[in-house]
Amino acid sequence: MSHYDKHVFFCVNQRPAGEDCCNNHQAQAARDYVKDKVKQLGLSTDERTMRINSAGCLGRCELGPVLVVYPEAVWYTYVDQSDLDEIIEEHLKNGRVVERLKI
């Protein structure tokens, strides 16, 4: 059994100016948004724990910005807040993969 039922890692890597990276797409802000929203919505409970983590480069820069949900190992890209809201509502809350954002 996984310690966290949903353990989400956002790549928040910042490369030097000129090189593309997830944080050029506001990845840190996206992670903070999801972390706050999960808290507001009370999605992490004693029975169903959830953690929204920041991480270094996840190695899939060409598809970035990226995040991964473990233990199910589902990877997503996202563009804006509505994409993040859909991942929260569908995947984190209801356990349904968001196929249109999956990479």
Point out which residues bind a copy of itself (CB under 8 A): 1-4, 7, 9, 51, 53-60, 68, 70-73, 75
User: Nearest approach, Cβ of 2 to a copy of itself (angstroms)?
Assistant: 4
In whole angstroms, how close is the CB of 26 to a copy of itself at the nearest point? 17
Q: Which is nearer to a copy of itself, 55 or 97 (CB)?
A: 55
Dig out the tokens for 87 from the structure.
Answer: 């991942």
Tell me the closest approach of the beta carbon of residue 4 to a copy of itself, in angstroms.
8
Q: Which is nearer to a copy of itself, 47 or 82 (CB)?
A: 47
Residue number with CB closer to a copy of itself (55 or 89): 55
- Measure the CA–CA gap between 44 and 90, rounded to whole angstroms: 15
| Pair of tokens at residue 77 | 């890209």
Name, in order, each residue with C-beta under 8 angstroms of 85's C-beta and a sequence gap of 6 or more. Answer: 37
Distance of CA 36 to the CA centre of its chain: 12
Distance CA 61, CA 12 (A): 11
Q: Please give the distance of CA 59 from its chain centroid, rounded to a whole number.
A: 15
Residue number, 10 or 88, with CB nearest to a copy of itself: 10
Least distance CB 103 / a copy of itself (angstroms)? 9
